[in-house]
Amino acid sequence: MRVPLSVRDFLHRAEHVYGDRIGLVDEPDQPAVSWGALSYRELARRARSFGAALAALGIAPGERVAIAAHNSARWIAALYGTCMAGRVLVPINFRLHAHEVEYIVRHSGARVLLVDPELAESLATIEVAHRFVFGAGSDPELFDRQDRPVEIELDEDQLATLNYTSGTTARPKGVMLTHRNLWINATTFGWHTGISDRDAFLHVVPTFHCNGWGMPFSLAAMGAKQVVLRRASGVEILRRIDEHGITMLGGAPAVANAILDAAVGWDGPIPGTGTTRMLVAGAPPPTRTIERIETELGWEMIQLYGLTETSPLITMNRRRAEYDALDPAARAVRLSRAGAPVLGARVTVDEHGEVIARANVVMKGYWDDDDASDAAIVEGWFHTGDGGIVDDEGYVTISDRKKDVIITGGENVSSIEVEDCLNSHEAIAEVAVIGVPDDKWGETVKALVVLRPGLQATEAELIAHCRDRLAHYKCPTTVELRTELARTATGKLQKFVLRAPYWVGHTRQVS
């Protein structure tokens, strides 16, 4: 017997095995009316209602539904409801500028756009067939219908989500993730992290990030309680852990550092000591941060590596029995590696030093971009764009980034996109955008600029030029004026030469 794998399985199990258990706790402090605490039975009802709403709108199976919103229970219900109904969810980074959101909506062909109340005004001009602002006004039509959707047969190779990611091009590419991709990512995640019905998970990672890393599916399958956090701050994370008995959360290294800073002034025992594990991804965490998570918080740190194109999990580094005899500093060194391939993944390095992977979680391809798909997946191997090594124990260490991508606070920034923006300024003759080390964000965006003869521009003016046109996290935090930029004999920018002075004393060219 062969039963297609579909993400419908996860909430189905939660409803039938853990139906009366609290499954999802909404963010209390948000512009929409909070849903409060929902049982898995009620969450499944609202997800089905959303599927019925899409059908009533004439959204056919396979059509796209875009969402630009902060973390909320409605976001997670829409994720479940869209995929279970055979439609395709298009998660959009809520930090993007309106014209960037508009591009994704248009490129994906989405006919529905779901919007956070905080973004309703800024996204009001985007043309789309159906627009809904999350809240009490749209709940009756979307999440509180009495009719049920017609349950269609799902194929495991059909698209479940279309996730846009910044990379080597000025425009983001749509990553096609299938039901099979998401099902295997979710079950692999659950296996390796040991998720059980005794867990309570805090959604710190923005859910637009590869569907919250797939955790809404993993957690529902095992009946774990999910708690939504709208905005990440160290103090609030500690407070929620204390209030809800959180045993697991995820975040970028910048989030870990914010928690560590907040813990210094925390009154009383640190919440979660001895019971909480933190999944860290988005960039390699500093060894000192890893050590402090263990010694100052008393938490277990688990490092992950992956990309949107891999659903995202392909390696994991978790404390092994062999590390128990080591002191925290030595143990942190072992845990600083990106990790060993997870079950079902093969990860190695090609002759150019690029990390490549082969797994069932690798995307179907890029939406409407066969050339990019063919360049990324070659002879059955996905090319990550990251440089690294695989040591004698089979563990991967990421040492450099082959793509022109800067990861700041866990967010991908295309240096090409920022360069395009700066080049639109009349005073700029040449520009190179690079990532440089930053204590808070891991990396930050720096622009190296050559001005046109006779024209002037200040650092503040160029930064403001970008902030008027791009999501603010993409904008340079510093601009350095130069007389020339390092190039090859053929005129190509040598970014590794430009980056090198800023990374002196660092063991790798990423952070």
Number of domains within the chain: 2
In a domain, 214, yes or no: yes
Per-residue pLDDT band at 490 (split at 50, 70, 90): very low
Interval 97-125: pLDDT, tens? 999 999 999 999 999 999 999 999 999 99
More confident residue, 398 or 94: 94
| Residue 83 φ/ψ, nearest 5 degrees | -70, -40
Is residue 381 in a domain? no
Indicate whether 496 pLDDT > 80. Answer: no
What pLDDT is recorded for position 447?
A: 95
* Amino acid found at 205: V
CATH of the domain at 106: 3.40.50.12780
Q: Within a domain: residue 73?
A: yes
Amino acid 412: pLDDT: 82
231 C-beta neighbours (distance < 10 Å), count: 12
Q: What is d(CA 139, CA 309) in angstroms, rounded to the nearest whole number?
A: 32
Which candidate, 204, 110, 93, places its Cα nearest to that of 474?
93
457 falls within a domain: yes
End position of a domain, from candidates 214, 231, 248 = 231
- Predicted TM-score (pTM) of this structure: 0.86
Would strands 159-165 and 173-178 be described as parallel, antiparallel, or unpaired?
antiparallel
Q: Does any domain span residue 8?
A: yes
Q: What is the structure's pLDDT at 171? A: 85
User: Phi/psi class of residue 50: alpha, beta or left (left: φ > 0; alpha: ψ in -120 to 50)?
Assistant: alpha
Residue 76 lies in a domain: yes
Domain that holds residue 440: 405-503
Q: Which among 206, 231, 256 is the end of a domain?
A: 231
**Is it the case that residue 56 has pLDDT exceeding 70?**
yes
pLDDT at 168: 53
Question: Is 314 among the domain residues?
Answer: no
In a domain, 136, yes or no: yes
> Which uninterrupted H or E stretch holds 38?
strand 37-39
For residue 333, pLDDT beyond 80: yes
Domain boundary among 177, 200, 231: 231
